[in-house]
Chains A and B, each alone.
Chain A
Amino acid sequence: MSIVFNNVSFAYGRKKIFENFSLDIADGETVVFTGPSGCGKTTLLRLASGLIRPQHGEVRGCPPTVSFVFQENRLIPTLTARENVALVGGDAEKILDELALGSELDTLPGELSGGMARRVALARALAHDSPLLVLDEPFTGFDAALVERAAECIRRRAAGRTVLAVTHSPREAELLGAREVKIEKLERK
């Protein structure tokens, strides 16, 4: 699924985030957006997902559903790790096991550590079958070994899907095998 940002302008109230922003993302491509805090990386992910619409210009290729790891975990507190993942489909147990959560299948989100809950959110996105996988700082709370394990899992499970990610770490971008797009060079505020 290719995604095209065509002269996109977006503002939160009076605060302009993007003005005449254009970018082409090829079908099956993995792109990592980097840039300083507040430059609009998360907004870009939300525009690409169709969760928000630009005030001017257009975003083409937004699929009807998106596999999304939000900045916050957004897990349903009354459902276990397994149930949160199974809610969107896929083999919940297998994916959770791949992310070293095989022993936490029946644990509620409130009883998980921050890193564990993050992995459940990642597992949910990987279990969901959308041509677009969106990852907003997916490795928050992971140690180096876990980042490698999770990145390998993403590469394998997202093969053929378009992946858009936000990360502050060049190492994480490299592990994802992504094209890096620096937002500060593309935006005009």
Chain B
Amino acid sequence: MVWELGSLAIGHELLLPSPVSVARSLARMVVTGEFWSSIARSMSRILLGYAMGAVGGIALGVLTSRWRAAAAFFAPAMSAVKATPVASFVILLLAWIRGANLSIAVSTLMVLPLVWQATHTGLGAADPQLLEMARAFGIGRIKVLRYIVLPPMKQQVLAALRTALGFAWKAGVAGEVIAVPSGTIGMHLYNAKVYLEMPDMFAWTAVIVLTSVLLEKLLVFLSRGGERKK
């Protein structure tokens, strides 16, 4: 309602398109194969980067929580990665990576430090009294890991994975907007901006937001399913 009123007040589709024209634009897009293939292309690459960042972050977190030297080596690098703006990453990476694979690298770098930190701190969050109890009773390493070490870590890592998913998605699309690989959401967003197709730009933005929310809901659903199975 506010949007519609604002659009009417401005009276210029180039500055603020009305919700109706955005909806019309979206309706025109969703019936094309290009729309779905673009989403699939962007999503597959960004999710691949997300998975690589998640697996790498967990592996690195295990490594740094076990060896202080590894922590001393990787912690500053992770802080630097976390502090670097997405745009800087994209421009730097463009020198080495082809446009199509850029979103994979960008989303990996977004996810890696978040998941690393959650794993690193989560592994150190095990209750020392329970660890001592396990030592006294001679409970085996696998059981200690499963029942004492992993539960507190799991909560932290799952929270990080949820946050990282949104980051990866937004950063991945931002990377596509700069690198403009063909047949991706980022390319459509870029073209809409260049050709001043404001309803299309708003429609693609809505698609990005909606997809991000759906992916996060899916992750929450999957993690709850995993909890129930346990």
Contact = CB atoms under 8 A, between A and B. Distances in A.
Nearest to A70: B133
Q: Count chain B CB atoms within 10 A of each CB in A51, A74, A79, A134 and give the residue with the most.
A: A74
B221 interface: no
- Where chain B touches its partner, the secondary structure class is helix
A76 B148 contact: yes
B137 A67 contact: yes
Given A70-B129, A74-B129, A65 B137 contact: yes
B135 A74 contact: no
A79 to B, nearest CB: 6
A102 to B, nearest CB: 23
B136 A65 contact: yes
- The number of chain B residues touching the other chain, given as a range, is 10 to 19
A68 B139 CA distance: 12
A20 B148 CA distance: 37
B136 A76 contact: no
B138 to A, nearest CB: 3
Given A51-B135, A66-B136, A87 B129 contact: no
A78 interface: yes
Contact of B147 (A51, A65, A67, A78): A78
Contacts of B139: 87-88
B66 interface: no
- Where chain A touches its partner, the secondary structure class is loop
Given A72-B129, A74-B129, A79 B147 contact: yes
Interface string A123-153: 0100010100010000000000000000000
Nearest to A76: B147
Interface string B135-159: 1111100010001100100000000
A79 B139 CA distance: 15
Contacts of A66: 136-137
Nearest to B140: A87
Contacts of A13: none
A88 B134 CA distance: 9
Contacts of A79: 147
Nearest to A127: B137
Interface of A: 49, 51, 64-68, 70, 72, 74, 76, 78-79, 87-88, 124, 128, 130, 134
Given A49-B136, A79-B147, 5 more contacts: A65-B136, A66-B136, A68-B136, A88-B137, A134-B136
Interface of B: 129-130, 132-133, 135-139, 143, 147-148, 151
Closest 3 CB pairs of A and B: A65-B138, A74-B133, A68-B136
